[in-house]
Amino acid sequence: MKAYVSYIIVSIITIVLSLLFLFSSTNKKGLYTTNLFYMDTYINIKIYDVDEKTKDKAFDNIDKIYKKYHELSDRYQKYDNVKNIYYINNIDINTEIEIEKELYDLIDYSVSFCNQSNGLLNIAMGNVIDVWKSYRDGEKEGIPTIDELKDKNINLEDLVLLKNNKILKKSNISLDLGAFAKGYATEEVGKYLESIDIDKYIINAGGNVKVGNHYNNKKYKIGLEKPTKESDIYKVVNGNNIAVTTSGSYERFYEYNGKSYHHIIDPNTLFPPQYMLSVSVITNDSTYADALDTMLFLMSTLDGLDYVNKLDDVYAIWYTNDGKVIKSEGFKKYE
């Protein structure tokens, strides 16, 4: 009888310890990573504590989400059976069309944000952006003249959002969702992961990073790259459940007469702003972070600082033209 009891004890101890060991090793094995290329960006996604089957399904759906928004927001080409921005930009004026709910919601969000941006953001800048692009791509030489840009229609009010996912253009405006699409898609991917109970993840879409809970009960370390030729890290942001996005003058630019002209255009001057080299935003929502950092890029650092300091749970860091670093109030908690 005694022997019987002790065998049970030995067995229980062995099983418990094996389970402990197994548990700690499956914790490690549950990291999966995938790389995608959409919206001109290499996107890297890591998910933790996930079994293989869930991983396959999750990566498949994430690919679908990014592909969807990539096609919907594309303004340079059409896709089979997709009514995207290219399609909208080429429809006749004063014609009601129905678009997919995903694109309607994205446009709806973007228009409301633009309307609250004091004229700093405008998704109807496509016609001006095309002029700049023709110079940047070398089709034309030098820089556009102000008259050439002024001629272009950028009146956002001519885009009418009707009910039931229907829209209508009142003039020949051209939409460009550059400041919104990537952040929006990244946010959708984050929401999707959380909906299937994957809460430990990193989505790294270039200027657009979103993280969930940490895989080791620590904090994610997110490096902010120096907006200069030597690509160093100038600040490390530590945090969980945040989105970090950056707008900078060092991506997609061209030089003329010793001056550089990047791809973000001020709707008021119709020229690229020169207030700073880059600005990064930390907040919980990636769509908002992406849109706000573009908006801050179009404001002086002082105005931007004032603006961000009035917001709750939004933090920003500026890298100025002369290499100084400016932080909004409370940024410290991520250092």
Partner 1 sequence: MNKKDTILIVIVLIISIAIILGYKLFEKDGIKKALVYYENDLVLTIDLTENIEKTYYVEGYNGKVKILAGNGKVSVDEENSPLHLCSKQGYISKSYETIVCLPNKVIIKIDNIDELDAIVK
Binding footprint of partner 1 on the chain (CB under 8 A): 2-3, 5-7, 9-10, 13-14, 17-18, 20-21, 24-25, 44, 46, 202, 204, 206-209, 211, 218, 220-225, 233, 236-237, 244-246, 248, 251, 280
* Nearest to partner 1 of 110, 186 (CB atom): 186
* Residue 295: closest CA among 115, 127, 162, 100: 115
Q: Measured from the CB of residue 141, what is the shortest distance to partner 1 in angstroms?
A: 29
* Nearest to partner 1 of 5, 138 (CB atom): 5
* Nearest to partner 1 of 99, 203 (CB atom): 203
> Which helix (DSSP H) or strand (DSSP E) does residue 47 occupy?
strand 41-47
Q: Measured from the CB of residue 90, what is the shortest distance to partner 1 in angstroms?
A: 32
SS3 331: helix
* Nearest to partner 1 of 39, 237 (CB atom): 237
Q: Which two tokens stand for residue 43?
A: 């996107």
* Nearest to partner 1 of 233, 302 (CB atom): 233
Q: Measured from the CB of residue 153, what is the shortest distance to partner 1 in angstroms?
A: 33
Q: Measured from the CB of residue 286, what is the shortest distance to partner 1 in angstroms?
A: 12
Rg of the chain in Å (alpha carbons):
24
Q: Measured from the CB of residue 14, what is the shortest distance to partner 1 in angstroms?
A: 6
DSSP helix, strand, coil percent of the chain (3-state; round to 5):
40, 25, 40
Q: Measured from the CB of residue 223, what is the shortest distance to partner 1 in angstroms?
A: 4
Q: Measured from the CB of residue 209, what is the shortest distance to partner 1 in angstroms?
A: 5
Q: Are 161 and 107 in contact (CB under 8 A)?
A: yes
Q: Are 62 and 36 in contact (CB under 8 A)?
A: yes
Q: Which two tokens stand for residue 14?
A: 């062995």
Token pair 């996930």 in the structure block, residue: 50
Strand pairing category for 259-262 and 253-256: antiparallel
Strands, DSSP E only, in 263-328? 278-283, 315-319, 325-327
In angstroms, rounded to a whole number, what is the distance separating the alpha carbons of residues 178 and 206? Answer: 14
* Nearest to partner 1 of 238, 274 (CB atom): 238
DSSP 99: -
